[in-house]
């Protein structure tokens, strides 16, 4: 059966591993590195988090590991459960379980995580982005001398970006848009600070557009290990201020399930433990 891997934060229990019986000898940082090294062999990891055992338990640590792929999580669980791995005593590994009543809305990956996921499945040279339009929409008042222009209080920088992500091997292109507004409310900041904020706003607009483009793509991992891509147009409503400007600007074509004949060879938002409810399996 094919597995679907979206460009979204993995919150499903079948993509989460619970690891306990971790030794109290190493530091949490050393355990994080060891766990990442051991479990990343089975697939791309979204996160590895190490926590100290409760005060009523024996000294040591436990960990919560998230994969993007449920299939990779299952392989890792079977291969690592009751194995010594990087310590003298065996660790216990189980797939996470969640109370049925608990539901979380899927969150989009930020642009850096999207690129990491794309690099893993498509290859570093398997995709690219093309900026179609990067426009400043700020309405800042200017001083009489433009060379000493500084933003007036309670104003903001606004940038709009439209781009597309291209996957040549899959004959697929996906458009994305991003709109960023950065407040600039202190005249004392001066021209240099204003230029830095302007550069930051531009970068954020591009990052938002890139993430938006990836959200419309769905990675399909076939049983053979080959990769296919499904394009899912977004149904989000675009602000009417930009609808006319965007009309005809981005026209894409994508052939869903366009497969590549090449085998794949081979991490702004993270959840705190309180945001997810896990139930540890009973210890043997």
Instruction: Specify the 3-state DSSP secondary structure of 118.
Output: helix
Structural contact between residues 262 and 169, judged by C-beta atoms closer than 8 angstroms? yes
Please write the tens of the pLDDT for every residue from 165-213.
999 999 999 999 999 998 876 555 677 888 888 899 999 999 999 999 9
| Chain segment 115-164, per-residue pLDDT in tens | 999 999 999 999 999 999 999 988 765 544 445 555 455 678 899 999 99
SS3 label, residue 186? coil
The answer to whether 15 touches 70, Cβ cutoff 8 Å, is: yes
Distance CA 48, CA 170 (A): 32
Q: ∠ CA(219), CA(222), CA(228), 5° rounding? A: 40
Query: What angle (nearest 5°) sits at the alpha carbon of residue 215, between those of residues 220 and 5?
Result: 25
Residue ranges per structural domain of the chain? 10-95, 111-141+153-248
pLDDT at 267 over 60: no
Name the pairing type of β-strands 92-95 and 61-67: unpaired
The CATH homologous superfamily to which domain 10-95 belongs is RRM (RNA recognition motif) domain (3.30.70.330)
CATH tag for 111-141+153-248 (out of 3.30.70, 3.40.50, 1.10.1900, 3.30.390)? 3.30.390
**In the structure, what pLDDT confidence band is assigned to residue 255 with cuts at 50, 70 and 90?**
very low
Residue 49, SS3?
strand
CA 211, CA 185: separation in Å to the nearest integer?
28
């Amino acid at each position: 059966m094919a597995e679907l891997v979206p460009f979204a934060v993995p919150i499903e229990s079948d993509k989460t591993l619970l690891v306990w019986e971790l030794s109290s000898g190493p530091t949490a940082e050393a355990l994080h590195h060891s766990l990442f090294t051991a479990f990343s062999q089975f697939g791309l990891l979204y996160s590895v988090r190490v926590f100290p055992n409760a005060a009523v338990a024996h000294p040591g640590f436990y960990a919560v590991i998230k994969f993007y792929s449920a299939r990779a999580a299952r392989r890792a669980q079977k291969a690592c459960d009751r194995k010594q791995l990087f310590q003298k005593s065996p660790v216990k590994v189980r797939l996470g379980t969640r109370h049925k009543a608990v539901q979380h809305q899927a969150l989009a990956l930020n642009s850096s995580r999207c690129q990491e996921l794309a690099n893993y499945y498509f290859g570093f040279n398997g995709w690219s982005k093309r900026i179609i339009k990067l426009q400043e929409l700020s309405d800042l008042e200017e001083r009489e001398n433009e060379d000493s222009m500084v933003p007036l209080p309670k104003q903001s920088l606004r940038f709009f970006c439209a781009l597309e992500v291209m996957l040549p091997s899959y004959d697929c292109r996906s458009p994305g848009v991003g709109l960023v507004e950065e407040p600039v409310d202190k005249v004392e900041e001066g021209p240099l600070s204003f230029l830095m904020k302007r550069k930051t706003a531009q970068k954020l607009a591009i990052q938002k557009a890139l993430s938006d483009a990836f959200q419309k793509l769905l990675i399909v991992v076939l049983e053979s290990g080959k990769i296919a891509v499904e394009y899912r147009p977004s149904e989000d409503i675009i602000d009417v201020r930009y609808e006319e400007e965007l009309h005809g600007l981005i026209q894409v074509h994508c052939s869903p399930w366009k497969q590549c004949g090449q085998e794949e060879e081979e991490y702004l938002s993270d959840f705190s433990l309180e945001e997810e409810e896990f139930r540890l399996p009973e210890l043997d």
